[in-house]
Amino acid sequence: MNIKRLLMLIPFILVSQQTLAEKLYICDLSCDSSGKLARQIAPKLKEGTIFSVVNIINYTANTYRVKVVRKPHGIELYTYQIVATTTKSRSAIADIEKAAIQFLKPYAIPSSVTPSAYDMLQSSSSKYGVALHLRNNLSLADRLKSFSSRIANRTGISDFDSKIEVEFGDGTVAEFEFDGLDSHKRWKFKYVPGSSRDYEGNEVPEQRQSVPGVYQFPSYSIQTSFIRYVDRMFGINTLSPTACSGSYVVECSFESNGEIKCVAKSFCR
């Protein structure tokens, strides 16, 4: 489970922590009602199992016990009975959500470590430098460790991908994930392949065959960083248009000979 998805469970934990539920289920936007979801879940569980269904819409948690009704001819009907209903105020939920948003803010990487995702992708030593910076930031590691421990203790959920987003000085971002402990029992991190994005959210291509596409940039300097990257990384030479105040588009496509051609266009104001 992705850590962002895990953070979404915080309100659910608040509204169901008073119950003795063995399992926790989410009634989200695609769910008609907690009751309907409970009816679908009950036949899949053993008799006597206590489970909670938390409604993301109204912040309520209904806790149920699986009950089996035995009818003549040996037919068993799985149903449920409500054990408890808990609610929390929207203001309390809002406070937790604000904390979650704060937690999800990308972690800033100093330019002295690596100035951009483009630079990081061109060098394994740059990736290691970012990972080392994250490892040496004890406050970050401790915060993540404490958070994941609390979630595991409250919900029993521990099988999630512990990924954090990092942001570079030029606005590009990437994801790193936990990679065990080093010999000194410090948390290690490693880059998540394919996770790099530029300032506008465009995926930064990491393989030559992934370059073709249309890339939009809000300024000359940002599109220049991309052009420089594909040139150094893949040997694709792109003529940059004259600098002006406006937006830019770089279109890359395969030629008939299998080569990749990129054309940059400016939209000056």
Q: Are 27 and 55 in contact (CB under 8 A)?
A: yes
For the segment 203-229, the average pLDDT, to the nearest whole number, is 92
Nearest to 114, CA basis, from 176, 202, 161: 176
* pLDDT for res 261: 94
- Give me the percent of the chain exceeding a pLDDT of 70: 70
**What are the backbone dihedrals phi and psi of residue 151, each rounded to the nearest 5 degrees, phi first?**
-65, -45
* Digit-coded pLDDT (tens) for 132-170: 998 887 566 565 555 555 555 554 545 545 678 899 998
Distance in angstroms (rounded) separating the CA atoms of residues 44 and 177: 34
- Exposure string of 222-260, with b = 16+ CB inside 10 Å and e = fewer, is bbbbbbebbeebbebebeebeeeeebbebebeeeeeeeb
Residue 268's identity, in one-letter code, is C
Q: Cβ(217)–Cβ(235) under 8 Å? A: no
Would you say the pTM of this structure is higher than 0.75?
A: no
Q: How far apart are CA 227 and CA 264, in angstroms?
A: 9
CA 91-166-140 angle, to 5 degrees, is 70
90: pLDDT strictly greater than 80: no
CA dihedral 224, 225, 226, 232 (to 10 degrees): 110
Q: Which residue has the tokens 């596409």?
A: 213
Enter the DSSP assignment of 210.
Answer: G
Does the pLDDT at position 1 exceed 50? Answer: no
Secondary structure of residue 182 in the 3-state scheme: coil
| Helix pair angle (124-136, 138-155), 10° resolution | 70
Per-residue confidence (pLDDT) for residue 38, from 0 to 100: 87
CA–CA separation, 269 and 265 (whole Å): 13
